[in-house]
């Protein structure tokens, strides 16, 4: 183990520069944050991820955010184990009817102020599963959504852009109060 | 003793079913098949319904066949009564089609949580009653037992499911799973869909196996249409499948070690996984290679840039991976967690016909690439690693060995990739045509069975390997401590979405 750690010491970091903000996401967030972001979040976001019936593709790319290339924690973004600790709910999937209750209850368990990000094409409107007897069709059918991050699944850079937009807007709103 | 071949001769053969036979049998032969499964002479590969028929896919050595039983009265002789691996499948058939297995030992619903507003959505639909009765978990009795309820929303970034533990102090005496939370009604959406849309849906059954599902669906559709795909497509598909296996196994090895609080391994494995996904993105335009394999071939060919990016990743893996194997092998505190934890006996793995690393870590040699086998694997050199220990450690080692095998396979495929086109157009054929395929995904064998009618899907069933692995997790955790559950669970890495459909 020591040899491996030693080698890494000289290998240099793999972590890449932060991506530029996604303008469309910044636009969408403007409204959401004027409404709610009066209280200081600082530059930190705690995220509770909820799989509301996804195929698991989105989860794989959310996981990738924590690898050495993206290293999401350097931005103050953390994934937390409980909705009680969360600022943001990151929701994937078309919202199956079997998960709609759990989604709603998790939302209610999250303290204010809170934001909901719908991640992936099915989270927007059910995507290719829309119209099924077992699917509600989109996160906004159950809880209010502040930001959509499109893709099937969205690659980590796109997810990161969306999350950084949220931090950026929050910081600006705080500065203007 | 009659073989599966003899049984096939007894039934009424369905002409347009490929590549293995399907026969319609009577209740007596159906029950005979169930008893052969129970004696362990045959292996259950799948069990699924239609509005008034049940089908059972069986393997007997190298022979594969589907037996079908018409059940106009909406009842059929129960298989699970004799052969428990059929239990959840029969509960699901009841939920989706309203066909009931006579004598089913556990008649509780499985996928139906009474939230759909309808009963038997794929059979004779009826409105669901407004009142709901709570799901009754199996009773546990004894002094000092307590229950721990986990899920459906878990602490990590994973799929939803409910685990009900009964523990005596730290020791788990029973785990009961409740799944179905991600049921999207995919088989319902498949009905009447065009082949292109159906392939897209198949690629979204389980995101981590999007290649394997698209591969299996495409092979089944091509079998039904008796369509031959070009050689280059055959080889490229295997390339995609092996890249997917590499990426997932690396992610799993890291995640298992992380669940034993050894984050260093995960940090390294996830870098290697990311390298593969980036090469896949360069080569095929999508990090998970989604929607690349379609009936008829592939939508995208491999160019020189793609080849170079995959070759670079292979070279890097050859340098970096051995150090990680050494790290796993030489870290005693890690082995202390994985060795002898969560044991699946060889008898259970055989009974359940468990595929993938779960089966192969418990003595089951089955690998769909070998038998029944499909091209181009017959032309490639590879070994199927098998261990008997059945613990978390064995499931890690199977993955490590399979990473090595897949590295070799990718190299062989790249060296011998034939030229020519990478797809052929598919033409709609009139009349009903049936096909099936068994493809080895990273998790195990995926079964797809379908009936096409005039260019549309009449019925398609997709059976995830997890159906025969989830129940073994319940057995593996028994007498382990609660704190080892995440470790055991990750070493199985069963699919929720794949089994919920």
Over the stretch A36-48, which tens digit does the pLDDT of each residue have? 444 446 667 899 9
Tell me the shortest Cα–Cα distance from A175 to chain B, in angstroms.
Answer: 33
Model confidence band, residue A171 (pLDDT cutoffs 50, 70, 90): low
Give the Cα separation of A51 and A122 in Å (integer): 11
* CB-CB neighbors (< 8 A) of B156 in chain A: 81
Task: Work out how many CB contacts closer than 8 A connect A with B.
Answer: 146
pLDDT band at A164 (very low <50, low <70, confident <90, very high): confident
Q: Search chain A and give the residue with CA nearest B186.
A: A129
With a pLDDT cut of 90, the percent of chain B lying above it is 91
Could you tell me if B305 and B329 are in contact, meaning their C-beta atoms sit under 8 angstroms apart?
no
Specify the pLDDT at position A140: 96
CA–CA distance, B278 with A61 (Å, rounded to integer): 12
- Tell me if residue B363 falls in helix, strand or coil: coil
Residue B118 is encoded by which pair of tokens? 């309808």
Domain boundaries along the sequence of chain B: 4-127, 186-500
Q: How many residues does chain B have?
A: 501
Tens-place pLDDT, residues B140-184: 888 899 999 998 998 889 999 999 999 999 999 999 999 999 999
- Residue B272, chain A, CB below 8 Å: the answer is no
Instruction: Give the whole-angstrom CA distance, residue B191 versus residue B85.
Output: 27
Assess whether the previous peptide bond of B376 is cis (omega < 30° from 0).
yes
CB contact (8 A) between residue B327 and residue A99: no
Q: Which of B115, B207, B208 sits opposite A97 (nearest CB)?
A: B115
What CATH number is given for B186-500 in this structure?
A: 1.10.645.10
Whether A82 sits inside 8 A of B267 (CB atoms) is no
Chain B interface mutation, best of A96, A135, A151, highest count of B Cβ atoms under 10 Å: A96
Model confidence at B340: pLDDT above 60: yes
Averaged over B78-99, what is the pLDDT? Answer: 97
pLDDT at B7: 78
In A, which residues are within 8 Å of B157 by CB distance? 49, 51, 59, 62-63, 79
| A56 to chain B, closest Cα gap in Å | 5
Whether B186-500 and B4-127 are alike in CATH topology: the answer is no
Instruction: Compute how many other C-beta atoms are within 10 angstroms of the C-beta atom of residue B228.
Output: 10
Give CA–CA dist B161/B397, Å, rounded: 27
* Partner-chain contact A60 B207, CB within 8 Å: yes
Q: Say if residue B220's pLDDT is above 90.
A: yes
Q: Residue B355 is encoded by which pair of tokens? A: 């595929």
Residue B324 banded pLDDT, cuts 50, 70, 90: very high
The residues pairing with B25 across neighbouring beta strands, listed in sequence order, are B69
Chain A contact for B41 (CB, 8 A cutoff): no
User: Nearest CA of chain B to the CA of A22: how many Å?
Assistant: 20
The CATH homologous superfamily for domain B4-127 is: NADH:ubiquinone oxidoreductase Nqo5 subunit (3.30.460.80)
Residue in the structure block whose two tokens are 């694997």: B377
Pick the residue from chain B with its C-alpha nearest to A90: B157
Distance from CA of B32 to the nearest CA of A (A): 36
**Are the CB atoms for B24 and B69 separated by under 8 Å?**
yes
| Of B152, B431, B103, B156, nearest in space to B266 by CA | B156
Place of tokens 């029973």: B174
In this structure, of A130-144, B124-138, B420-434, the range with the lowest mean pLDDT score is B124-138
Q: Which of B184, B270, B281 sits opposite A135 (nearest CB)?
A: B184
Nearest-angstrom CA–CA distance, B399 and B401: 5
Three-state DSSP class for residue B52: coil
Question: Does the beta carbon of B283 lie under 8 angstroms from any beta carbon of chain A?
Answer: no
Beta bridge partners of A117: A90, A147
Nearest to B185 among A52, A81, A133 (CB): A133
Query: Other C-beta atoms within 10 Å of B106: how many?
Result: 12
B177-195 tens-digit pLDDT = 999 999 999 999 999 999 9
A24 has a pLDDT exceeding 90? no
Token output for B80: 């699970």
Instruction: Determine the residue of chain A that is closest to B499 in CA distance.
Output: A55
Q: Does B273 contact chain A (CB < 8 Å)?
A: yes
Whether chain A has a CB inside 8 Å of the CB on B114: the answer is no
Residue B2 in this model has a pLDDT that exceeds 90: no
Q: What is the H or E stretch that residue B239 is in?
A: helix B231-259
> Contact A106/B153, CB-based, under 8 Å?
yes
Q: Choose among B431, B427, B433, B384: nearest CA to B404.
A: B384
CA distance B186 to B204: 9
Contacts of B208 in chain A (CB under 8 A): 56-57, 60
Burial class (CB in 10 A: 0-12, 13-18, 19+), B416: exposed
In chain B, residues with a C-beta closer than 8 Å to the C-beta of A101 are 115
Residue A27 half-sphere exposure toward CB, CA atoms < 13 A: 4
């Amino acid at each position: 183990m020591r040899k491996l750690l030693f080698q890494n010491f000289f290998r240099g970091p793999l972590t890449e520069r932060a991506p530029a903000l996604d303008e469309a996401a910044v636009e969408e967030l403007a409204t959401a944050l004027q409404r709610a972001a009066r209280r200081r979040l600082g530059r930190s976001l705690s995220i509770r991820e909820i799989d509301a019936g996804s195929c698991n593709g989105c989860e794989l790319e959310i996981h990738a955010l924590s690898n050495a290339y993206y290293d999401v924690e350097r931005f103050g973004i953390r994934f937390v184990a409980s909705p009680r600790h969360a600022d943001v709910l990151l929701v994937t999937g078309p919202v199956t009817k079997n998960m709609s209750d759990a989604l709603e209850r998790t939302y209610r368990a999250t303290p204010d102020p809170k934001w909901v990000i719908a991640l992936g094409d099915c989270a927007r409107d059910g995507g290719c599963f829309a119209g099924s007897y077992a699917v509600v069709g989109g996160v906004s059918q159950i809880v209010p959504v502040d930001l959509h991050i499109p893709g099937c699944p969205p690659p980590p850079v796109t997810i990161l852009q969306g999350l950084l937009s949220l931090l950026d807007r929050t910081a600006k709103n705080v500065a203007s109060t | 003793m009659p073989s599966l071949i003899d049984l096939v001769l007894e039934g009424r053969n369905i002409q347009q079913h490929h590549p293995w036979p399907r026969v319609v049998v009577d209740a007596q032969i159906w029950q005979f098949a169930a008893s052969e499964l129970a004696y362990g002479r045959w292996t259950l590969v799948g069990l699924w319904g239609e509005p008034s028929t049940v089908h059972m896919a069986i393997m007997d050595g190298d022979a594969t066949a589907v037996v079908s039983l018409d059940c106009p009265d909406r009842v059929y002789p129960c298989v699970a009564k004799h052969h428990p691996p059929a239990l959840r499948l029969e509960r699901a058939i009841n939920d989706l089609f309203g066909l009931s297995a006579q004598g089913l030992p556990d008649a509780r619903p499985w996928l139906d949580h009474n939230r759909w507003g309808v009963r038997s959505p794929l059979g004779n639909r009826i409105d669901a009653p407004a009142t709901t009765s709570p799901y009754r978990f199996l009773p546990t009795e004894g002094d000092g037992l307590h229950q721990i309820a986990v899920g459906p929303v878990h602490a990590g970034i994973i799929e939803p499911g409910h685990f009900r533990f009964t523990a005596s102090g730290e020791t788990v005496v029973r785990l009961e799973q409740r799944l179905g939370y991600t049921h999207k009604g995919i088989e319902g959406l498949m009905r009447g869909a065009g082949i292109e849309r159906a392939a897209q849906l198949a690629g979204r059954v389980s995101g981590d196996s999007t290649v394997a599902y698209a591969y299996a669906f495409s092979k089944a559709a091509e079998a039904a249409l008796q369509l031959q795909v070009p050689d280059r497509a055959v080889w490229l598909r295997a390339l995609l499948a092996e890249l997917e296996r590499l990426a997932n196994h690396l992610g799993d090895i890291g995640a298992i070690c992380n669940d034993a609080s050894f984050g260093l391994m995960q940090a390294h494995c996830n870098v290697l996984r990311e390298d593969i996904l980036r090469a896949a993105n360069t080569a095929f335009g999508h990090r998970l290679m989604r929607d690349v394999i379609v009936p008829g071939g592939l939508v995208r060919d491999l160019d020189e840039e793609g080849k170079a990016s995959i070759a670079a990743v292979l070279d890097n893996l050859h340098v970096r991976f051995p150090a990680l194997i050494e790290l796993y092998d030489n870290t005693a505190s890690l082995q202390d967690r994985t060795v002898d934890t969560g044991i699946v006996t060889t008898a259970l793995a055989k009974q359940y016909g468990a595929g993938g690393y779960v089966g192969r870590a418990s003595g089951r040699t089955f690998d769909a690439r070998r038998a029944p086998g499909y091209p181009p694997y017959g032309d490639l050199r590879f070994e199927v690693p098998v261990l008997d220990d059945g613990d978390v450690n064995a499931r890690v080692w199977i993955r490590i060995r399979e990473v090595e095998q897949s590295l070799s396979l990718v190299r062989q495929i790249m060296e011998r990739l034939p030229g020519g086109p990478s797809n052929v157009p598919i033409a709609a054929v009139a009349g009903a045509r049936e096909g099936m395929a068994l493809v080895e995904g990273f998790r195990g064998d995926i079964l797809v069975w379908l009936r096409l009618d005039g260019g549309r899907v009449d019925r398609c069933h997709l059976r995830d390997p997890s159906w025969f692995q989830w129940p073994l997790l319940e057995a593996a955790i028994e007498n382990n401590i609660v704190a080892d559950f995440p470790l055991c669970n990750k070493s199985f890495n069963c699919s929720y979405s794949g089994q919920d459909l």
